Chain A
Amino acid sequence: MTTTADPVSPRIGQGSAALPDSGGHFGRFGGRFMPEALIAPLDELELAWREAMTDETFIAELDRMLRDYAGVPSLLYDAGRLSTAAGGTRMLLKREDLNHTGAHKVRNVLGQALLTKRMGKTRVIAETGAGQHGVATATACAYLDLDCVVYMGEVDIERQALNVARMRMLGARVVPVNTGSRTLKDAINEALRDWVSNVDDTHYLLGTAAGAHPFPAMVRDFTRAIGDEARAQVLDLTGRLPDAVCACVGGGSNAIGIFTAFVADADVALYGFEAGGEGVATGRHAATITGGDVGVLHGARSYLLQDADGQTVESHSISAGLDYPGVGPEHAWLAESGRATYRPVTDAEAMTAMALLCRTEGIICAIESAHAVAGALDVARELGPDATVLINLSGRGDKDMHTAAEWFDLVDASGEVTYAATAETGAPGADGGAGSTR
């Protein structure tokens, strides 16, 4: 059963949060650890964003783009068969996977791209890991007639050739980054170097709720309608608030997007699921809050994966979108204040949950979102059958079929699809091995 969002307003920028403070701090996290040359551009951006958020014309234009172009508000879906598999707990899916470009990211990207126009800038740069944020940015730039340059690590370019083609198809220039670990964090470094050199005509369209102030707060503003919509949709459907809200956390934009509307609802538990990779104990993971320490990376104080000398350590996850050694500062604050709970979900647990959602609901979600599904199934078990659990299904899994096909051994040498055994029960993660283990 689905419910449309009406009369939910997709309105952006409603409400206001107490944090961050004027310096961009969430408790001891956040702030601005940036070269002085970028402080004035960050101030300019903050001013433009705050003014835009009180400008009815800007809000109306963004609302129109989100509604007519991106397909927002997204559906809330009452996942009956998943609920049965979860032991009776009512599982509600916020279908961000149905948005144009296939994920929640379009909300942030359209917001920042429209802000770019408002600031009179003509060029947009972005970083991308798996290519999803790059594709979304290239899409928005095509739509709004902006020049687009996407920085992408050489390692990621090799892993995500199809998304490179998508970005180029959309008219973006994809610049390979061959420094450091040649992955997402180095792409961010290179985008920052570009920004400081070209800031007069260029906006850095950061893809997540991380980085220096005002990015974490601004990206939250552009994504918080996920939770505003979902909260009203859940009330409309069930007559009460959910018992728990679940989301995956890489940098944290989809999670902060759905959490924000519920932060003041003390009875609603908030769960963020980090990429546990091969297991936090193995050291090969991206579970920054669970397995990292407090430090400074990419402009903010937060949790990060670092060695004894404060050098950034490479993260590992089967999900490229969660494969980042940092996390947004507001999540660090929500974790430290106890308002939200962060847990790791391993590659195997996520893939099992992905398969379960496919077989019970006919929905192929992104591997990122599968971390939220896996974690939510554990939460459901803890809360019991009377509970309602809201999951942010942040993206769709088309992009992940190569990874899934390898993981589940779906394509044999002859090219035939073989139906490997997948999760038969509602207890994914119990054996960590739907289909073949790897």
Chain B
Amino acid sequence: MTPVATALASARNDGRAALVGYLPAAYPSVDGSIAAIQAMVEGGCDAIEVGLPYSDPVMDGPTIQRAAERALAGGARTSDTLRVVEAVAATGVPVLVMTYWNPVERYGVERFAADLTAAGGAGLITPDLVPEEAGEWVAAADAHALDKVFLVAPSSTPERIASTAASCRGFVYATSVMGVTGTRDVTSTLAPELVARVRALTDLPVGVGLGVRDGQQAAEVAGFADAVIVGSAFVAQLLDAGADHAAGIEAVRTLTVDLAAGVRSAAGVRAAT
């Protein structure tokens, strides 16, 4: 099993869902992002997604867009993302990179896979790469035993869910809504149904992302998913804190603790399913 699969299985053995936290690299600075992610690890995240800032993030809502924009304006490079991965991986928590495809292709797919492996990274989540276009990445990921996490959506047909899941390693990423990243007041009614459809077609764990902002919502999602993925809510803590990054880090830590409690409070629900 890969490190991410192991982390998710460990949570499952505890009778709970895993908590996966996302933050972009290099916002507000490289070191600042490392410190914030370390707070997420200390607060109870089971795995980490490091976002590679990109100029045209079509899957992201305004919150993550702003952070990525500022990271790039601050001069963020692809190598900075790898540096963040290396620092976070040193804590022992599995680290995936969430990236749009062009920066990887530009870096060189095999070279990226090799450097990610060297940095201790566990694999990639690829929001704009579907398996049909992923031949080069699949080959590189297989050569380096990296996780390949592709997305499924409420609009995915059963055939696509089956073929996409068959291409995944680590877990399957279920986008809970038809929409972009960002917190929502109400958790999606589409998500439980989507997860059930995925489960019917694969034994891989299913992570649910898009929209979760607090422990209560995390508990709801943890009731039907193997992993609860939280991104925009963390980014919002840093954006809201502005120049007071220390306060932002504390807010990230507090939110993590709340979310970690949320995924655990759903244990009874999970045990019953």
Given contacts A33-B128, A36-B156, contact A312 B178 (CB under 8 A): no
Q: How far apart are the CA atoms of A311 and B59 in the complex, in Å? A: 16
Whether, in the assembled complex, B62 has its beta carbon less than 8 Å from a beta carbon of chain A, the answer is yes
Chain A, Cβ-Cβ closest to B127: A35
Given contacts A185-B56, A197-B180, contact A309 B106 (CB under 8 A): yes
Whether, in the assembled complex, A264 has its beta carbon less than 8 Å from a beta carbon of chain B, the answer is no
Q: How far apart are the CA atoms of A23 and B105 in the complex, in Å? A: 19
Contact between chains at B130 and A41 (CB < 8 Å): no
Contact between chains at B155 and A39 (CB < 8 Å): yes
What is the minimal beta-carbon distance from A55 to any residue of chain B, in angstroms? 24
* Chain B residues near A33 (CB-CB < 8 A): 101, 128-130, 133
Whether, in the assembled complex, A192 has its beta carbon less than 8 Å from a beta carbon of chain B, the answer is yes
Of residues 11 through 44 on chain A, the ones whose CB sits less than 8 Å from some CB of chain B are 23, 31-41
Q: How far apart are the CA atoms of A127 and B107 in the complex, in Å? A: 30
Query: By CB atoms of chain A within 10 A, which of B150, B157, B178 has the most?
Result: B178
Contact with B along A315-326 (1 / 0, CB 8 A): 000000000000
Of residues 111 through 132 on chain B, the ones whose CB sits less than 8 Å from some CB of chain A are 127-130, 132
Q: How large is the interface on B (under 10, 10 to 19, 20 to 34, 35 or more residues)?
A: 35 or more
Q: How far apart are the CA atoms of A33 and B62 in the complex, in Å? A: 21
* Chain A residues near B91 (CB-CB < 8 A): none
Contact between chains at A295 and B178 (CB < 8 Å): no
Given contacts A35-B128, A311-B103, contact A199 B155 (CB under 8 A): yes
Given contacts A35-B58, A179-B62, contact A310 B107 (CB under 8 A): yes
Whether, in the assembled complex, B250 has its beta carbon less than 8 Å from a beta carbon of chain A, the answer is no
Contact between chains at B180 and A39 (CB < 8 Å): no
Whether, in the assembled complex, A112 has its beta carbon less than 8 Å from a beta carbon of chain B, the answer is no
Contact between chains at A35 and B153 (CB < 8 Å): yes
* Chain A residues near B72 (CB-CB < 8 A): 311
Contact between chains at B58 and A36 (CB < 8 Å): no
Contact with A along B59-85 (1 / 0, CB 8 A): 101100110010010000110000000
Contact between chains at B178 and A36 (CB < 8 Å): no
Chain A, Cβ-Cβ closest to B152: A36
* Chain B residues near A298 (CB-CB < 8 A): 56, 58
What is the minimal beta-carbon distance from B99 to any residue of chain A, in angstroms? 10
Candidates B55, B102, B150, B151; contact of A180 at CB < 8 Å: B55
Q: How far apart are the CA atoms of A185 and B157 in the complex, in Å? A: 30
Whether, in the assembled complex, A308 has its beta carbon less than 8 Å from a beta carbon of chain B, the answer is yes
Contact between chains at B156 and A306 (CB < 8 Å): no
Contact between chains at A37 and B153 (CB < 8 Å): yes
Whether, in the assembled complex, A297 has its beta carbon less than 8 Å from a beta carbon of chain B, the answer is yes
Candidates A37, A40, A199, A311; contact of B54 at CB < 8 Å: A311
Of residues 170 through 220 on chain B, the ones whose CB sits less than 8 Å from some CB of chain A are 175, 178-180
Given contacts A36-B175, A311-B54, contact A180 B69 (CB under 8 A): yes
Q: How far apart are the CA atoms of A180 and B71 in the complex, in Å? A: 12
Whether, in the assembled complex, A226 has its beta carbon less than 8 Å from a beta carbon of chain B, the answer is no
What is the minimal beta-carbon distance from B157 to any residue of chain A, in angstroms? 6
What is the minimal beta-carbon distance from A24 to any residue of chain B, in angstroms? 10
* Chain B residues near A293 (CB-CB < 8 A): 106
Contact between chains at B58 and A192 (CB < 8 Å): yes
Q: How far apart are the CA atoms of A200 and B184 in the complex, in Å? A: 20
Contact between chains at A197 and B160 (CB < 8 Å): no
Chain B, Cβ-Cβ closest to A34: B128
Whether, in the assembled complex, B265 has its beta carbon less than 8 Å from a beta carbon of chain A, the answer is no
Chain B, Cβ-Cβ closest to A312: B55
* Chain A residues near B175 (CB-CB < 8 A): 35-37
Chain A, Cβ-Cβ closest to B79: A309
Of residues 196 through 235 on chain A, the ones whose CB sits less than 8 Å from some CB of chain B are 196-197, 199
In the complex, 28 of the A-B residue pairs with CB atoms within 8 angstroms, ordered by the A residue number, are: A32-B130, A35-B127, A35-B153, A36-B150, A36-B160, A37-B178, A37-B179, A39-B130, A39-B153, A39-B156, A39-B160, A40-B153, A40-B160, A180-B69, A185-B56, A186-B56, A189-B56, A196-B59, A197-B178, A199-B178, A295-B102, A296-B101, A297-B102, A299-B128, A310-B54, A311-B55, A311-B103, A312-B56
> What 9 pairs between A and B have smallest CB-CB spacing?
A310-B106, A37-B153, A40-B155, A310-B103, A197-B179, A310-B102, A311-B55, A296-B102, A36-B151
Extra 18 A-B pairs, beta carbons < 8 Å, given A299-B128, A312-B55: A23-B132, A31-B132, A36-B151, A36-B164, A36-B175, A37-B153, A39-B160, A40-B157, A40-B160, A180-B56, A186-B56, A189-B56, A193-B58, A196-B59, A296-B101, A296-B128, A298-B56, A310-B103
Residues of A whose CB lies within 8 Å of any CB of B are 23, 31-41, 179-180, 185-186, 189, 192-193, 196-197, 199, 293, 295-299, 306, 308-312
